[in-house]
């Protein structure tokens, strides 16, 4: 058996051994978080193990494969934690709709049921810029993996009716 297969098998076995079943949902959970983070971790581990096996030589090849796999798993996990395209689309649609229709102070929420990520958009102030376009200051929250981050920004209404973030 090639060393790359051994290294990859060791990493996958460790990750799978840490899986548990949620008694409330019946779904398998990993210590890595959601499915995107898990896939990112596994994909990174495989890629890192492959690269490590190409770099290592002789007796150091197994160590390079395992180290490459572990580094790849870490990088893949971090990437998988971030918002994916679907999350960004939910957030963008909610932001556009909220800036167009919601009165100042009224939050609008978005939620991606597939990832569990969510957030809110709250217009804070509306004003007319010296250029004549209408702008809105807003507050935004994003919750990923139970951690909520806040951001503030300003968006201005474009001639086509869309809102363009000009300061974030």
Contact 65, 7 (CB under 8 A): yes
Contact 138, 122 (CB under 8 A): yes
Q: Which residue has the tokens 């990750």?
A: 15
What are the residue boundaries of the structural domains of the chain, listed by start?
3-81, 85-167
pLDDT band at 145 (very low <50, low <70, confident <90, very high): confident
- What is the C-alpha to C-alpha distance for residues 153 and 135, in angstroms, rounded to an integer? 10
The structure's pTM equals: 0.53
- Span 23-60, pLDDT tens digits: 444 444 444 455 555 555 665 666 656 565 656 567 66
Task: Round to the nearest angstrom and report the end-to-end CA distance of the chain.
Answer: 52
- What is the C-alpha to C-alpha distance for residues 59 and 79, in angstroms, rounded to an integer? 32
Compute the chain's Rg from CA coordinates.
22
């Amino acid at each position: 058996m090639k060393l790359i297969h051994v290294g990859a098998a060791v990493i996958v076995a460790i990750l799978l051994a840490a899986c548990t079943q949620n008694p409330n949902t019946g779904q398998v959970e990993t210590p890595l978080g959601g499915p995107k983070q898990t896939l990112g971790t596994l994909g990174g581990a495989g890629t890192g193990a492959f690269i490590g096996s190409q770099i290592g030589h002789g007796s150091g090849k197994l160590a390079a494969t395992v180290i490459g796999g572990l580094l790849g798993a870490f990088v893949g996990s971090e990437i998988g934690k971030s918002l994916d395209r679907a999350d960004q689309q939910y957030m963008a649609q909610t932001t556009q709709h909220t800036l167009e229709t919601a009165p100042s102070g009224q939050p609008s929420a978005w939620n991606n049921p597939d990832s569990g990520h969510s957030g809110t958009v709250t217009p804070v102030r509306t004003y007319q810029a010296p250029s004549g376009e209408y702008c809105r200051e807003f507050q935004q929250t994003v919750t990923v993996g139970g951690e909520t981050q806040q951001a503030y920004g300003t968006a201005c209404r474009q001639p086509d009716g869309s809102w363009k973030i000009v300061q974030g």
